[in-house]
A and B are shown apart, each in its own frame.
Chain A
Amino acid sequence: EAQVTQNPRYLITVTGKKLTVTCSQNMNHEYMSWYRQDPGLGLRQIYYSMNVEVTDKGDVPEGYKVSRKEKRNFPLILESPSPNQTSLYFCASRSPFTNNYGYTFGSGTRLTVV
C-alpha cells in the first residue's frame, strides 16, 4: 500500500531532550515536507526537500533540523525541544510523476514537550 509512515504517533518528552521523528514513504516521491499544525494557524511548513541531499527552510524552521540521505526517509530532529514545539506534526510527500501533484500525508505525530 502506498503510504507515508511517521513514528511515533504520540510522544511526551521533557525540555531539552533531543528527539527524532521518523518519516518514510514507499512511493519513490522526490518531494517531502514537514508541517506543524496548531489551532487557528493551519499547516505551517517547517522544512522541505526537493530530492536527496536537497533541503530548505519553510516558514517556521527555528529549533528543527532535517536530513535527506535517502529518497524514502526524511527525519525531523529537535535538538533541544521546548514547550512551544508542542504541536501536531505531519510529514508529507508528493511527486510530479503521478496522476496528481497533491501531497500524501502521514498519520501525524502528536508531540508534547513539558
Chain B
Amino acid sequence: GENVEQHPSTLSVQEGDSAVIKCTYSDSASNYFPWYKQELGKRPQLIIDIRSNVGEKKDQRIAVTLNKTAKHFSLHITETQPEDSAVYFCAASIDRGSTLGRLYFGRGTQLTVWP
C-alpha cells in the first residue's frame, strides 16, 4: 500500500515567519493530496487539498505545492499567527472517478507559533 512520510515532526516559528511542512509518497498512482489541521482536543479539519493535475493551490495564507516527478508535496503557511499552532497531517489517496481510494496519512507535524 501507499506510504506517506511527513517532516518535520515538530516545527517552531516566530509569529510572522513562514512555515513549510513536507510529505513524500511512494505510489506514483496517488492523485489526491489533502492537508488537515488538528487543534488541541479537536477533530482534524481539512484546510486545503490538491489533485495531481495541478502543481500549486493557494488559499489566503496557505498554499500546497505538488511535485509528481519527485513524489512529494508541501504545505506552506505565510505570515504565521499563534492560532496556526496545531498538528498538521498530510495524506494521499488514489481516487478513480467516483471510486475513492484509501486515504493514507502522514504521522503529523506539531507546529508552534511563538508570539
Q: Do A and B bind each other?
A: yes
Interface segment, one of A12-20, A72-80, A105-113: A105-113
B interface residue count range (under 10 / 10 to 19 / 20 to 34 / 35 or more): 20 to 34
* A34: chain B residues within 8 A (beta carbon): none
Take A42-B89, A103-B46, A106-B43 as given contacts and tell me if A96 and B105 are in contact as well, using a CB distance cutoff of 8 Å: no
Contact call A96/B49, Cβ cutoff below 8 A: no
* A103: chain B residues within 8 A (beta carbon): 34, 36, 44, 46, 103
Take A101-B32, A102-B49 as given contacts and tell me if A43 and B100 are in contact as well, using a CB distance cutoff of 8 Å: no
* B100: chain A residues within 8 A (beta carbon): 30-31, 50, 94-96, 101
Which residues of B approach A to under 8 Å, CB–CB? 1, 6, 32, 34, 36, 43-46, 49, 89, 93, 95, 97-100, 102-108
| Given pairs A101-B49, A102-B34, A103-B44, 10 additional interface contacts (CB within 8 A) | A40-B107, A42-B108, A43-B105, A90-B43, A96-B95, A96-B98, A96-B100, A100-B46, A102-B36, A103-B36
Which residues of A approach B to under 8 Å, CB–CB? 30-31, 33, 35, 40-45, 48, 50, 58-59, 90, 94-97, 100-108
